[in-house]
Amino acid sequence: MSLVDLIAQADERGLAASGLACLDRCVPLLGGDDEVLRPLWSSLADGGAWGEYLERARTELDVADPGQAAAADDDDDDDEAAVLVRRMLAAAPDDPSAPDLREWADACSVRALRIHRLLDAAAGDTGTCPVSAHREGLTDGISPLVAAELRRQVTVLELLAGRGAGGLRPALEVSTEGRRVLRAVVSRRARGRS
């Protein structure tokens, strides 16, 4: 089943976890602490105060105002990638059962894949196949970093579909692994500039 199909069939918890996982993996681009989104994961498990935790994360990551998620200079892939992360966080619904949850999860999926492609561009990814095609299951010419992100997104949705709330912990583990990979990529690029 394609990523698009999995998102279309996901329930509220699956959608919230999917969007949150995409965001969580990309937090290194904002310089955020690895635990900054942990309370949101907990709230999905226990029905806690999602809105309160979301506001706290926005404040800590300096994304309290959605207007800060303005367009970046297209010449700087790191800046553009950080803007995409800010947009994900700014657009997150204050209620994890909001009607626009599917739209948010879908947008997070696209942005996370785009971020990984931007970061792979320096490694020679020509990006000849659009991200939308990868989400539909076409993986010709996909770079390793984007392929890994695509697999993680599919895995998170499959875990939540198959295990319900019991899939949250393994979904968080998948996200944590992806965050480590992205943090290493960001660190390597920063060293390459100095």
Amino acid at 30: L
Rounded Cα gap, residues 185 and 144, in angstroms = 12
CB atoms closer than 10 angstroms to residue 102:
17
Rounded Cα gap, residues 29 and 72, in angstroms = 14
H runs (alpha helix) in the chain: 3-9, 12-26, 38-46, 50-60, 77-91, 101-121, 131-135, 144-163, 168-193
Q: Report the candidate in 134, 135, 168, 150 with the shortest Cα–Cα distance to residue 14.
A: 168
Give the pLDDT of residue 123.
47
Give the tens place of pLDDT for each residue, 162-180: 998 899 999 999 999 999 9
Give the pLDDT of residue 74.
42
Instruction: Using 70 as the pLDDT threshold, list the residues of the chain that sit under it.
Output: 64-78, 121-129, 193-194
Calculate what percentage of the chain has a pLDDT beyond 70. Answer: 87
CB atoms closer than 10 angstroms to residue 156:
30
